[in-house]
Structure 1
Amino acid sequence: MVFKYLLGLKISDTQTGLRAFSKNQVKDFLKVKGERFEYETNMLIDNKNLGYKFKEIPINTVYIKNNKSSHFNPVRDSITIYLLFFKYIVVSLLSFILDIALFGIFKAFKFTIINATIIARILSSILNYTLNKNKVFKSFNKKSLIKYYILVIIQMFISGYSVKFLHKIFVNKNVIFLKIIIDLIIFIVNYYIQREWVFKRRERECFY
């Protein structure tokens, strides 16, 4: 379930050691870090980042003595999966803090809500794009910059006009508080859009 919702990979057995792949893929997978179960998890994540598609083939599984010889730790050996989303959260949090700080500064200088939103988002998006591209999704998609700023423009106006609309309804509410609420909602949707559209690579030859 974690693989499905955080990585977009629907895999019934993430820890199977029986995997087949082409000679071309060997060069990529030799660079994967980790040992044992950690390596298998990292391989699947890199498989996603490199744009390889995969196919699962059902086989019979035989466990000897209820699989007592296995050293799989569901917390320790799955931590890599959560690290991906954690890195996204950290990057988003840094960008979010910068965006809110800039928004507050521009509002203090009597900028309108829309203008303050646009300028703050453009500046904070430079940090967000660079870190997400190189540290989170590790994408080499040449069109990612164009896609990213299409997403930024759409979300920028959604954020700006939503805050403006809510501020008219809740007159006594602090405008920065309203912006935080709106942007938190956008944050979750943004993760899936960046993963599946902005930084997604074209699928390559089959693996598994």
Structure 2
Amino acid sequence: MNAKNCCVLIPSLSPDERLPQYVSQLLEGGFGGVVVVDDGSAREYQEFFDRIQTWDKCHVLHHEVNRGKGAALKTGYAYIEKNTEFDGVITADSDGQHTVKDTLNLASLLDEKEQCLLLGSRDFSRNSVQVPPKSRLGNRITSVVFQLFYGPRLPDTQTGLRAFVRGLLPFMQEIGGDRFEYEMNVLIRCAVVKLPMKPIAIDTVYHDENKGTHFHPIRDSWRIYKLLLGGFFKFMSASVMATVVDFALFTLLNAWVLPMFMQPVYLNVLGSDLRVVAATLGARAVSAVLNFKLNENFVFNLKKCRGAAGRYIILCVLVALVSGLTVGALSALLPTVSSTLIKIPVDVTLFLLNYRIQQDWVFKNRIQEEK
């Protein structure tokens, strides 16, 4: 995509001379427009915004108070969607970390016919002397956790240099989060709806070991990791809730309801009582439906997902079979070990796999289905 068809969006809080320098270089590079969002900067910083506002192809939006980077980005998205006709949108930071060369490269890689998110990816390897140790360690941990719970391998999860086509503007505005956690939420949502994310190598630039950043290490890291791990803990909560309902319904049916209507009937299969079997199946049917709806609406937060119910049933049957066969086989190999002890690590492993399988297959959903 030609740079003249792209708009660069820059959220900014308390900028310095690097902001107007960067905007000027972007215009010289051929970008069709630049939108800067002043996220509640104090009066002494207004001279930078006022200067930019006077330039052709530039527009400055203002928040009266600081609302956060996510809110600033969404303010810019709304303006670009309603007031411009640019085919591509590129977000960049105002602190000089993103070079015009890299910004132009992302623009050239955009294809208006392809819905994807391009991510400017810095070099966080040990060979990169530009990266402060804390930033390198933090990004590596976040990258590993993201891949573990969501699948895609993203070398740089904290990059602010991102590019996408105009058609994704409504999607980007619907994603929750107003501060630094918004950018992580975007990555999570893209992974959930299977929107391709493509890391693009960029220069690694840090000024004064990134001391000018507005990122709060404790507060903002907590928000980010709460998002990263939130889905899995929701999955655990839904499973616990379904288990409690299953146990409670089984007890109610077996001890109170069924005895009112039927006498014990023993089957020839292991001498099982028909009432126990009926109570088990009845409770499991209700708890399975509850677990499915919780996962669909609470855990994975999908509006609609075609075929999910059928895939969920198949997965439940397969997990039960794998659990039973594995525990049985290991019990035969380890006759001195209790089957209950063997079952614990087997089912914990299956639970972790279950989460990823439900995310990637049962509740698979593409962005086209969300519209």
TM-score bucket (shorter structure): 0.7 to 0.9
Aligned-pair identity (%): 35
**Whole-angstrom CA distance in 1 between matches of 2:286 and 2:321:** 15
Task: Please say if 1:154 is aligned against 2:318.
Answer: yes
TM-score normalised by structure 1 residue count: 0.78
Larger Rg belongs to: 2
Q: Structure 1 stretches of 5 or more lacking a match?
A: none
Render the CA deviation track for 1:79-130: whole Å, top value 9, x for unaligned: 2111111111111111122234445667767359876654443221101110
**Root-mean-square deviation over aligned CA pairs:** 3.5
Q: 1:114 to 1:57 in 2, by over 3 A?
A: farther
| One-letter amino acid of the counterpart of residue 243, structure 2 | F
| One-letter amino acid of the counterpart of residue 122, structure 1 | A
**Whole-angstrom CA distance in 1 between matches of 2:327 and 2:252:** 17
**Whole-angstrom CA distance in 1 between matches of 2:298 and 2:212:** 36
| One-letter amino acid of the counterpart of residue 91, structure 1 | A
Aligned position for 1:39: 182
RCO higher in 1 or 2 (8 Å CA, sep ≥ 6)? 1
Matched residue count:
200
Aligned position for 2:25: none
Aligned position for 1:94: 241
| One-letter amino acid of the counterpart of residue 238, structure 2 | V
Contact 1:147/1:198, CA 8 A, preserved across alignment:
yes
SS in 2 for 1:20: strand
Task: Please say if 1:133 is aligned against 2:280.
Answer: no
Aligned position for 1:191: 355
Query: 1:10 pairs with 130, 135, 153, which one?
Result: 153
Query: 1:50 pairs with 159, 176, 193, which one?
Result: 193
Structure with greater proportional helix content: 1
**Whole-angstrom CA distance in 1 between matches of 2:276 and 2:355:** 25
| One-letter amino acid of the counterpart of residue 86, structure 1 | F
Aligned position for 1:84: 231
Contact 2:238/2:291, CA 8 A, preserved across alignment:
yes
Contact 1:87/1:136, CA 8 A, preserved across alignment:
yes
Render the CA deviation track for 1:113-165: whole Å, top value 9, x for unaligned: 87665444322110111010111112332011111111122234445677889
SS in 1 for 2:174: coil
| One-letter amino acid of the counterpart of residue 77, structure 1 | I
Structure with greater proportional strand content: 2
Contact 2:319/2:350, CA 8 A, preserved across alignment:
yes
| One-letter amino acid of the counterpart of residue 26, structure 1 | L
